[in-house]
């Protein structure tokens, strides 16, 4: 269940941490989720503690597979085309937020260096010139806080909100960023 997965995440991220209590209460504040008891009964015991980004939902839902078209069949009916700015943006944010959501609270020096290099390279290589320029300028103004996973999630959410604002889209509630990109919504709508 979502709660078990979140509890396991909290555990993994605080196992080596002498400040475990403080870390988990600040996590609670950061995510806006005040009740995360570990060990809640899962809807599907086979999925306890699964890493959602590590599995193919089609494997999990194997029983329903026969009802789905294979990717080859889908490719025949829907042409696979290059991405436009909107699709590229949506997919890119998905990757960026997912990387941040699974990034440790207390990364190693190597992980921090990799994340920093990744974000800076990404901002230079992103093949939408004005988006790339804007992202580079924002990184120069406000460097990604790569030594702190929670701060990194907040930073990325703020970066995305800057773009949302520019495009006249509503701001996203950054207190819900881990529900959106890691745990699923509290109402269970993302559970399987
Ligand atoms: C680095 C970058 C810069 C970009 N710059 C521009 C630009 O300058 N001009 C332009 O036209 N397009 C830009 N784009 C693309 C643009 O941001 C959108 O991706 C695109 O318009 C598609 O928007 P969408 O409505 O599908 O949702 P998206 O904005 O792509 O969001 C996808 C999903 O992310 C979630 N979400 C929304 N906001 C947040 C947030 N703040 N934090 C966490 N999750 C959130 C929502 O669930 C949403 O459905 C940029 C994309 C990237 C990755």
For the domain bounded by 85-181, which CATH number is listed?
Answer: 1.20.120.310
CA 28 to chain centre: 17
pTM for the model stands at 0.77
Atom of ligand 1 nearest to the CA of 90: 30
Q: Name the residue of 123, 156, 163, 189 whose CB sits within 8 Å of the most ligand 1 atoms, as the mutation to test its pocket.
A: 163
Tens-digit pLDDT profile for residues 143-189: 999 999 999 999 999 999 999 999 999 999 999 999 999 999 999 99
CATH 1.20.120.310 maps onto the chain at 85-181
pLDDT score at 2: 61
> Tens of pLDDT along 10-47?
655 554 444 443 333 333 333 334 333 333 334 555 56
Using the CB atoms, write b or e for 80-102: b if 16+ within 10 Å.
eeeeeeeeebeebeeebbebbbe
H-state helical runs in the chain? 2-14, 20-31, 57-60, 71-77, 85-101, 109-125, 129-141, 149-166, 177-178
Please list, in sequence order, all residues whose beta carbon lies within 8 angstroms of the beta carbon of residue 124, skipping any fewer than 6 positions away. Answer: 132, 136
**Residue with CA nearest ligand 1 atom 49:** 90
């Amino acid at each position: 269940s979502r709660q078990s997965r979140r509890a396991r995440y909290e555990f993994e991220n605080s196992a080596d941490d002498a400040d475990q209590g403080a870390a988990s209460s600040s996590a609670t504040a950061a995510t806006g989720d005040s009740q995360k008891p570990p060990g809640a009964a899962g809807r599907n015991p086979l999925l306890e503690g699964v890493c959602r980004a590590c599995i193919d939902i089609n494997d999990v839902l194997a029983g329903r597979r026969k009802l789905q078209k294979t990717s080859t069949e889908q490719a025949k009916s829907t042409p696979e085309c290059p991405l436009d700015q909107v699709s590229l943006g949506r997919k890119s944010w998905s990757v960026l937020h997912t990387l941040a959501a699974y990034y440790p609270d207390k990364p190693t020096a190597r992980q921090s260096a990799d994340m920093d290099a990744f974000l800076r390279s990404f901002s230079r290589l992103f093949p939408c010139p004005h988006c790339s320029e804007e992202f580079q300028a924002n990184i120069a103004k406000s460097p990604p806080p790569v030594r702190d996973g929670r701060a990194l999630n907040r930073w990325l959410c703020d970066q995305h909100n800057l773009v949302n604002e520019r495009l006249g889209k509503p701001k996203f509630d950054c207190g819900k960023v881990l529900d959106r990109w890691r745990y699923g919504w509290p109402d269970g709508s993302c559970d399987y």
